[in-house]
Amino acid sequence: MSIDKTSAHICVAAALATAAIGYQAWRLLSPPTSDSPDDRSRSIANGVAGLIGNTPLIRINSLSDATGCEILGKAEFLNPGGSSKDRIALYLIEKAEETGQLVPHTGSCIFEGTSGSTGISLAMVARAKGYLCHIVMPSDQAIEKSQLLERHGATVERVAPCSIVDKNNFVNVARRHAQEFGAEDPAKRGFFVNQFENPLNSEAHYKTTGPEIFRQTKGCIDAFVHGSGTGGTIAGVTHYLKRRVPQVQCFLADPQGSGLANKVNHGVMFAETEREGTRRRQQVDTLVEGVGLNRLTRNFANLLPAGRGKKCLLDGAISVSDSDAVKMSRWLMANDGLFIGSSAAINCVAALDIARKLGPGHTIVTILADSGQRHLTKFWNDEAMAALGHSTAAPASLDEFKSV
């Protein structure tokens, strides 16, 4: 009888071994599919463009452990251009090629007004596809962004910060250059990306970022939180998730000085730093770069009520102070080894606040748009932050972040 049991055990073990070998062979030989999270490790990427997207969703351990929630960050800083803007750079350029607005290797030039990250992504994709690139940016942005743009072969023009209604605003200057380019040679086209008002911006995230988050969480997501610069990411992802996960709540993370949070929460565009005699700088009065506005872009407006009886797609907004943004960046470096940029820092402050309000057992997703590597001379410069009155020491505990 014992011999029979032993034989049976041997047969079972052999069967399991055979099944395991078969499974590994299937994994190695079967072609990758778009639903596979490890596509990159199993195939050859088609140039730089083939590396864009399908970024990992990582658990932010310190925030998750402290709240009892799963706080997850989409590591967009792992895109080849270093930020989530790679997605729109590729998508908008390829759409322009499809419609004949751009033809590679004709001396055509891509123009854009940007605080930096979109420009870097555009310069990278432009170089890979055979275009020139001319970027106009506010002169108060971190100098390393200009340096990165130049290393990517772009022409960089830094202009004084001013209102969007001013003809010399960085966006308007880029638009004007695009209109004037190629006047003497029709084959050379100037293409203005227009990321703030171009609906293809949010469409890119609706078709890529949103589906990736849905797949990576298997649809088990309770909240999504993100800031807004152009409004493309938060609009595209929110529209996608709301249509597939009825219970999901979506929130805006807004830096100080931006009026968007007040617009979402109260229907009026206003920021405390806009009070007469309080503003220190043009545009949005914050040290956070890339997010926060005091006007509505076309992409962001798609989230707001568009008529009587219509409801805002966002469930609320959290205003984040510069001080908390700095503290969160230092906390995550000290406790998680995450070296993030300023917009990712406000996202994490807001995600922590939402986790506390929802309570343990919930899943909150946010975007880690870029790393601290392009913020070394400002946001990650301790002397510069100290001069503005911000402590750069890592907080002793998360209790230093008070719920909004």
Q: Whole-angstrom Cα distance, residue 343 to residue 379?
A: 10
Catalytic residue among 5, 74, 85, 242: 85
Contact 77, 83 (CB under 8 A): yes
Q: How far is CA 346 from the centre of its chain?
A: 12
Compute φ and ψ for 75, nearest 5 degrees.
-80, 70
Question: Which amino acid belongs to residue 49?
Answer: A
Residue 95 among the catalytic residues: no
Residue 227 DSSP class: -
Walk across the sheet containing 316-320 and list its strands. 57-59, 70-75, 363-368, 223-226, 249-255, 316-320
Q: Whole-angstrom Cα distance, residue 207 to residue 209?
A: 7
29 is written with which tokens? 């030989």
Q: Where are the alpha helices (DSSP H) in 231-315?
A: 232-244, 260-266, 298-301
Q: Which residues are catalytic?
A: 85
